[in-house]
Homo-oligomer: A and B are copies of this chain.
């Protein structure tokens, strides 16, 4: 199993070295050993970093993400938690879709001010109803 230098990880992920060291410090990833001072990473780490990036973009905190990996670095979560998280995500996706549509509409709306546009007002009402639930 090939080992990766921190610079290779940097290159492949676009993350900064300081970020990787920080991730290791908080236990989010682990280096597999050292070559002199230099950290060596397992190739699997790249996959972990993909998942971490994905999780972050989904709005999870690093702490939460850390909880999604087992001691071995393999993804590991009880099924119910996973479903709950997926539900949260779907909710967020719905939010974002509303917002995206709102923005696109506003961009094309001929009404002099957005608040005068009935479609925009309707979107706001939808948001409000949704947020209350």
Q: Give the B-binding residues of A (Cβ under 8 A).
A: 47, 50-51, 53-55, 57-59, 74-77, 79, 82-83, 85-86, 89-90, 92-93, 95-100, 102-104, 106-108, 113-115, 120, 124, 127-128, 131
Task: Give the interface SS of chain A, mostly helix, strand, loop or mixed.
Answer: helix
How many copies of this chain does the complex contain? 2
Partner of A86 from B86, B92, B100 at Cβ < 8 Å = B100
Residues of chain B within 8 A of A86, CB atoms compared: 100, 103-104, 107
Known: A96-B93, A114-B75. A82 touches B103 (CB 8 A): yes
- Judge whether A93 and B97 touch: CB under 8 Å: yes
- Judge whether A107 and B82 touch: CB under 8 Å: yes
Give 5 A-B contacts (CB < 8 Å), ordered by A residue: A51-B127, A54-B98, A57-B92, A57-B96, A74-B113
